[in-house]
Amino acid sequence: MKLADKLLQKILDRKAIVGVMGMGYVGLPLVREFCESGFTVHGFDVDERKIRMLKAGKTYIEHLPGKLFREYIKRGQFLPTTDMKKLSKPDAILVCVPTPLDKMREPDMTYVRSTSEDISRRLQRGQLIVLESTTYPGTTREVVKPILDASGKKLNEDYFLAFSPEREDPGRTDITTKDIPKVVGGMTRDSGKVACALYEQALTQVVPVGSCETAEACKIVENVYRAINIALVNELKMVFDRMGIDVWEVIEAAKTKPFGFQPFYPGPGLGGHCIPIDPLYLAWKAREYGKPTRFIELAWEINTFMPEYVVSRVIDALNERGKSLKGAKVLVIGLAYKRDVDDVRESPSVTLIELLQEHGAQVGYHDPHIPVAKPMREHNITHMRSVPLTPASLKKYDCVLISTDHTSVDYDMLCKHAKLVVDTRNATGRKKRPAKRVVKA
């Protein structure tokens, strides 16, 4: 029997052990789906704190309750560990590690390389390796494969390799990891076959494509599309604001057209692990081929400028009330990058806090999902704690800046008791508010 057929049979019999590298917003949902489908899952992470919490039946991600993982551990289905020697045990290893940008806005492959090296040192005959981390087209072939080949084993003869982009949307409840179609591209035909078979056991729909590069490009295209359209409405917001037109009202009217228009909404900047970063991966790779990516670069410039634009609106609004930003007390509503999650990755709220502090403001934040500021790679605000949102606390601030529109915030109470509200999300626009107190930004 061919090596691929042996692995395929093991997968179909649900006897294959699945390894997941990276116990974060991408890895943990995969653990859940494979455990629910009857597989045994080994969860790997270098962060000892995360592994300790998982073993104690707790999680560090709000929408993934610890009781689920506690039950998987109790049944012997889920084995979280920091011991990379155990990478020899899984039949398939799904790599879900960060792919950030470095200070020069170029892809930082540190985590992908180190993880691939960890796997290569323990690579077993017949193992399937799937990279899920979002990256530029060519990463699986040019970065991961040579590291695995250094083990002395050969692709398709000894191991299988594929790419399948993660498509997580943290906090979303109507669509789960199981329901999101899974794009899979194999480095070889057999690699694609066994990778598709694995995901088909746990997820509703698998979408096979012809190569790893196609799968890598698919995810980049999805996020380039979003980044460019968000940049467009951010630019329109600034233009319409100068013209005295409410961009949110314009978008609500435009989206009544049943064809030819899809609504995107402006904000204080881009956040999350994908849209602020992934388009620049493609722009970087395109330079290797001598091709400019002007739309991508322009979208990045516009979206990156938005926190500065918001701060300028805060300055203007305070000035109109005879107050300087220097020495002013500003409360930022929402530390997370999007509504109703506890995820702070690349959050524009953090950039806003730092810009406001640079201008001499005294800044606090309120976020019902983040009681204590989380550590971040590029920022250090871990000394901050969420301020209770009460009429008394609101009156202490010269300005309340809505950066994230969490649904649990009482915007009626906020608008009633705040001296000044600068709203970047149209959170206050669903009802008529005191015009003199609320400024859109």
> Which one of 218, 274, 399, 415 is the catalytic residue?
274
Q: Which residue has the tokens 């524009």?
A: 348
Q: Which residue has the tokens 């994230």?
A: 404
DSSP-assigned beta bridge partners for residue 128: 92, 160
Distance CA 277, CA 284 (A): 11
What percent helix, strand, coil does the chain show, rounded to 5?
40, 15, 45
Task: Classify residue 76 as left (phi > 0), alpha (psi -120 to 50) or beta.
Answer: left
3-state class (DSSP) for residue 213: helix
Distance CA 66, CA 78 (A): 12
Length of the chain: 441
| Whether 415 is catalytic | no
DSSP-assigned beta bridge partners for residue 439: 422
Neighbours of 88 (CB within 10 A): 13
Q: Which residue has the tokens 């083990």?
A: 151
Distance, first Cα to last Cα, the chain: 64
Q: Kind and range of the H or E element at 240? A: helix 212-243
Q: Return the ∠ at Cα 345 (arms to 429 and 111), rounded to 5°.
A: 160
Q: Where are the alpha helices (DSSP H) in 338-435?
A: 348-358, 391-394, 411-417
At residue 251, what are phi and psi to the nearest 5 degrees?
-65, -40
* DSSP secondary structure letters along 241-275: HHHT--HHHHHHHHTTSSSS-------SS--SSST
Catalytic residues: 274
